Amino acid sequence: MRLFIAEKPSLGRAIADVLPKPHRKGDGFIECGNGQVVTWCIGHLLEQAQPDAYDVVMRAGIWPICRLCRKSGSSSHVLP
């Protein structure tokens, strides 16, 4: 199964339009051929961390490029 998560319903429908048929619409999702599912969210899913979460240099307003570049998965926090 492949799951596509769109930022809003209209984008979810657009993604489903290019995926294999048959399509079956559910409550908040569309099942497509080959076991692919498209769903969507409404509202903000991600937000920037609070200033205290950054290191001291960045909190002081200095933003060197080497500190801005991050590897995927290097640090993240999940909040309820």
User: Which pLDDT tens digit goes with each residue over 27-58?
Assistant: 999 999 999 999 999 887 777 777 777 777 77
Interval 10-28: pLDDT, tens = 999 999 999 999 999 999 9
The Cα–Cα gap between 28 and 1 comes to 17
Per DSSP, 23 falls in state: -
At 72, the pLDDT band (50, 70, 90 cuts) reads: low
- The confidence score (pLDDT) of residue 76 equals 62
**What is the domain partition of the chain in residue ranges?**
2-40
Q: Is the pTM of this model over 0.85?
A: no
More confident residue, 60 or 35: 35
Burial 9-23 (b: 16+ CB within 10 A, else e): eeebeebbeebeeee
